Structures are given as structure tokens and as C-alpha cells.
Structure 1
Amino acid sequence: MATAPEVFLDRPAAGRLLAARLRGRAWHDPVVLGLARGGVPVAAQVAWELGASLDVAVSRKIGVPGQPEFGVGAVTADGPPYYAEQTLTMLGLDVRDLSRACAEEREEARRRVLRYQGDRPPTPTRGRDVLVIDDGLATGVTATAALRALRRTEPRLLVFAAPACAPDAAQALAAEADEVVCLSLPSSFVAVGQWYQDFDQTSDDEVLALLTAEPDGPASM
């Protein structure tokens, strides 16, 4: 495990450290996908360092009714939603209780895909090494939904990487990705934001700017 600071300065700084961990490997036609929105500033640094294609993956958390930040599942623009069955059982919830939230989050996922891609076709991933990057891994529900959607595109290798990961979530995600890379696995993980000095929300405009930036593009986003 690579040495990493306990708290990262910001997403680009964390991305540069993650890129240093990932470079030097014989990647096959790599494509780097940042999970929108916060994963994109991290992913941009990795893509620029690896000389890889950069694009975005969209996965939306499905929250508990009345507690939208408590994610018990996630959904992408297409394909079936993913639910953490053990969490649903623990809370006494049924997927039918979440049908409205699922529909709303799928609609938001489709809006974001349209905003980020426009008329541009998605970057091909079949037969390529695909690195899915986020700014952190807490419950793993959004990452799981994204990885399952990408697995259907038949990548050669499917990797998930993030600067800071909750140990239990990283272990569980190993069933979805061919490899899980975490710079830091703090045992006291509560939320992703606690591992960043600057954790301002990433906007749609910032995502679009990074997707079109040159390798020496804006490092402060």
C-alpha cells in the first residue's frame, strides 16, 4: 500500500498522488472514467498522467425516504438499479418503497449524461483497460452500479481507484472490479469529505471544462 497523507489537499492533488500509484504499469489502451461529479477532477489527473482517454461515468445514489444522503442503492442512466440488500433488510425496506427515488435518480443520471456528452458518442470501452475513478469510497453503492453497467460493455480489465476508501466498502467492491486501488484505507472512515481539506462541490461546468482540457489544463478545479 502506497503511503498517502491522512488528509488530501483537494481533488486534483489527490488525483496526482493516485496517478503516481497507477503509472508505470502496462495498461492496454486505457480509458479513465471519473464518477460524476466529484470523481472527475481526480480522474483528469490520472488520465493526463497515463496519456489515457478521459470520460465520465454517471451513477446516482438512491437514498432512504426522508434521508436522501443515506444511500441504500444506486442507478445509472440505463440498466437495472443496484440495491444493498443487507441494508434494506436492516432498515425494513422493500425496493418498492424506493421506486419513486429510483425513477428520480435515473432521470437525473440521464440529464447529466446528456449534459456531459451532448452529441458526442461515449468513449468505447470494449476490450480496453477501464479505470473508474472517484474522490472516495464510502458505502460503495454508486461505484457498484457504475461498475456493473461498465462490465456489460466487456472491458478487458475493470479497475476502481480512489484516494480514500472505507475498508469494508473496498473489500466488498472487489467482487465487482478486477482490481480495487486505494491510497488510504482509514479505519475511522465516516464520509469522503473528512479526508479533504478542500471538498467544495464540483459543478457541471467544471466537469465539462475538465473533459475538454489539455493535459496541462486547470489544476485548481
Structure 2
Amino acid sequence: MELADKVDIGPSPVVLGIPRGGVVVADIVAREFDAELDVIAVEKLGSPWNPELAVGAVGEGEAMWIDAKLAKRVGVSKLACTIEAERAELAEKLADIRRIQPRIDLDGRTTIIVDDGVATGSTVRAALLALERAKPARRILAVPVGAPQTLAQLEEVADVVVCPLRPPCFQAVGSWYEVFGQVSQAEVREIFQRRRGI
């Protein structure tokens, strides 16, 4: 695993999956390092006209990252409605997970933030902002594939970025997987139930 080869993660790291697809990858990373697994919950803010276009993202604890240029095009009033809706969805999904997986104290610990890939970086940026309140010792971002320009920007805000695939002609995360289906909330619950022996 490239993460183990590139980074000394130290003792007792916590692997944090970005729901939903990132939790599947994070589960594999956590097993590899015999580490605790938790989530860092974020929701992408899609454009009202194109939900796949990330204008930004909201995260736990009121964290939010907005792409200022895209936000101007969308308009403040439309974006405010999107933010409110995504915060409500985030709270619901997080409450669902917390019924199974209690929040892990991250103070002074190495955290490995994992997603299934990085395109615009909006969700990762919101996750990194949300983590600031938890005061981890280090914030390592680990993804299997990502857009090179976005990863270069994230290297300025994360302590370490590990990404083995940085294709120059990156188009979408899913195009780099043989099978890339949507991960359901039920699948995320099952991962935590299995890890906790429920």
C-alpha cells in the first residue's frame, strides 16, 4: 500500500472516511493499519442547475468551503437554499452513523482522511476545515485517484497528500474504477456494524 510506503503515520492513527464512497475505501485503509475507523461527514453543494457541479461543501460543526467564482454565478439566494438543505441532510446522515459509531476523540492524533477520489476538492476542503476544531496532530489525505491541479492545491492545506494515480487527463473519479456504483447509507451502516460486531 502506497500510504505505508510514503508516510510514517505513527502510533494509533484514526482513519476518517468521507461518506459515502470514501467510507468503503477508508475501511480498507483502516484494516491495513489496524486503525480505528470513523467518518468526517460532509455534503457537496451542487449547483442548482447542475447538481454534479460542486460549488462548495458543508461539513460537521458548521464547516463550509465555497468556490467564490462559482458561487457568484449561482447567486447568493439560490446557494443559501442549497446550503440549508445540505446541512439538514448532513445532520440526518451523521445522526444515523452516530447511532452505531460514536465520535472518536481526535485531539493530538494522526488522522487519515480518505475519499474514493478527488475531482474539485470541495468535500475534502470542507472535511479539512471541520477537522480543525478536533485538533488532530496531523491531517493526512489519502485517495486512490485525483485531479493533479486539485491535489496540488490540497497539498497546501493538508499536512500530507498521498495519491498514487494523478492522471493528466482526469475527467471524473468514477472513470478510474472498473466498477463504480453509488454507495448507499445502508452500506455505510453495515461497515460500522461489522467493525463493531453488531
Q: TM-score, normalised by structure 1?
A: 0.83
* CA-CA distance at 1:108 after TM superposition: 0.6
Secondary structure (helix, strand or coil) at the match of 2:91 reads helix
- How far off its partner does 1:44 sit? 0.5
Partner residue, 1:139: 120
Contact 2:58-2:87 within 8 A present in 1 as well? yes
**Pick aligned residue for 2:24 from 41, 53, 57:** 41
Query: Partners in 2 of 1:35 and 1:186 — Cα distance?
Result: 22
Rounded to whole Å, the distance in 2 between the matches of 1:202 and 1:152 is 28
1:79 maps to which residue?
62
In the alignment, which of 150, 156, 169 is matched to residue 188 of structure 1? 169
What secondary structure does 1:61 align onto?
strand
Tell me the CA shift for residue 126 of structure 1: 0.8
| Cα deviation code 1:77-110 (max 9, x no counterpart) | 4314210123334xx3444430000000011110
Task: Find the residue that maps to 1:163 and give its secondary structure.
Answer: coil
1:21 shift after superposition: 1.4
1:156 aligns with 2:144: no
Asked if 1:176 is matched to 2:176, the reply is no
- Measured on the aligned residues, the alpha-carbon RMSD in Å equals 1.9
Match for residue 54 of structure 1 among 37, 45, 50: 37
Q: Which residue of the partner structure matches residue 105 of structure 2?
A: 124
Q: Which amino acid aligns with 2:137?
A: R
Letter in 2 for 1:205: A
Over residues 39-92 of structure 1, what are the superposed CA-to-partner deviations in whole Å (9 max), with x where a residue is unaligned? 011000100110110011211111112211111110014314210123334xx3
Q: Which amino acid is the alignment partner of residue 148 of structure 1? A: L
Measured after TM superposition, the shift of residue 175 of structure 1 is: 2.4
Q: Which runs of 4+ in 1 moved over 4 A?
A: none
Aligned residue-pair number: 195
Amino acid of the structure 2 residue aligned with 1:105? E
Contact (CA 8 Å) 1:148, 1:176: kept in 2 or not? no
Q: Which amino acid aligns with 1:39?
A: G
Q: Say whether the 8 Å CA contact 1:164–1:184 is kept in structure 2.
A: yes
Which residue number corresponds to residue 105 of structure 1? 86
- How far did 1:120 drift? 4.7
The separation in 2 between residues aligned to 1:148 and 1:21, in whole angstroms, is 25
Displacement of 1:121? 2.9
Q: Which moved more, 1:143-152 or 1:93-102?
A: 93-102
Alpha-carbon distance change, 80 to 209 in structure 1, aligned in 2, over 3 angstroms = closer
The one-letter amino acid paired with 1:47 is A
Compute the displacement of 1:214 (Å): 4.5
Matched, 1:211 2:160: no
Normalised TM-score (structure 2): 0.92
Give the whole-Å Cα distance in 2 for the aligned partners of 1:119 and 1:201.
21
Deviation string 1:95-133 (CA, Å, 9 cap, x unpaired) is 443000000001111011001111753011110000000
Letter in 2 for 1:40: V
Please list every run of 5 or more consecutive structure 2 residues that lacks an aligned counterpart in the other structure: none
Residue 51 of structure 2 aligns to a residue whose secondary structure is strand
